[in-house]
Amino acid sequence: MHSPAPSIARAAAWMAGWLTLMVVIAVAGREATRELSVFQIMLMRSTLGMAMLWPLVHAAGGLAAVRTTRLRQHTVRNAVHYAAQYGWFVALTLIPLAHVVSIEFTMPIWSAALAVLFLGERMSGLKWLAVLLGLVGVAVIVRPHAGEVNLGQIIALVSALGFAVSVVLVKSLTRTDAAVTISFWMLVVQSAIGLVPALWVWQWPSVQVWGWVVVVAFCGTYSHYCFARAMQHADATVVVPMDFLRVPLTALVGWLMYAEGLDLFTVLGIALILAANLLNLVRLPAGGWRVGRKA
């Protein structure tokens, strides 16, 4: 497969799609779990998602376009992602939206380290500073509740580690497989994994909840397509810190829709996260500052 030329601008554009869809899915997921089991929501998301993804599969050349020689890696990636996604949906029912996403953002530190260890990516000093500054922003948002660690926070933290493993595996897969192939196998594998537990707790959704499930399916399908496209244009160490913007965006939505607190700590954390993203987009000249290298 021919890899697209590296482009931070294109990666940022695809990440804008990812961010929008992920903020929407957080709301839709919370609303759907008021009536349905998380297992059922995840199965419906995957099966509906296959129909929604078909126009892209067809445009790419049909089923022949999603053939892969790395089925084992797709299976491992999606088993890990399924478990992490289940935990994420459960956490949405236990703690505020902004806190779920904030705790999730311990993920970049894990994914950055894994990308360096297993993918051979290099971390410049500015990239490390962007990651650390973003994590400080996340810590500031969560800080007023730091003394009240509960089950929802623990589940969100474990999910973050699972997402980090998934991110690194996606980046590895983009070296050989197209974004539509990665998205297709995500839906197939996760449908297979989730079939039995979902049928065990199955109940027919109301008309209103059907609407939320469709939104979850659409956002869940195309958010990962956007993320995989972003990964094709830039290293994981560039793409992942852009995702920090999801914290202030989710905090704002939580405040607007659920009257969840948007206090001084949250505003300060948002400012730090925005600064981290701006820093991450700074391009160094060839031979620029890198960790472990003298200036």
pLDDT tens digit string along 142-160? 765 555 567 887 898 889 8
More confident residue, 24 or 229: 24
Q: What per-residue confidence (pLDDT) applies to 114?
A: 73
Task: Indicate the average pLDDT of the chain.
Answer: 83
Do 247 and 101 meet the contact criterion of CB atoms below 8 Å apart?
A: yes
The average pLDDT across 75-95 equals 92
Q: Could you tell me the pLDDT band of residue 131, with boundaries at 50, 70 and 90?
A: confident
Q: Which candidate, 174, 213, 241, 204, places its Cα nearest to that of 8?
A: 241
The average pLDDT across 137-142 equals 77
pLDDT tens digits for 25-56? Answer: 999 999 999 999 999 999 999 999 999 999 98
Q: What per-residue confidence (pLDDT) applies to 152?
A: 85
What residues have CB less than 8 Å from 119, skipping those under 6 apart?
Answer: 168, 171, 172, 236
* CA 190 to centroid of chain Cα atoms: 16
Q: pTM for the full model?
A: 0.75
Per-residue CA distances from 207 to 49, 50, 180, 213 (Å): 19, 21, 30, 10
Q: What per-residue confidence (pLDDT) applies to 99?
A: 81
Angle between helices 8-32 and 207-233 (to 10 degrees): 160
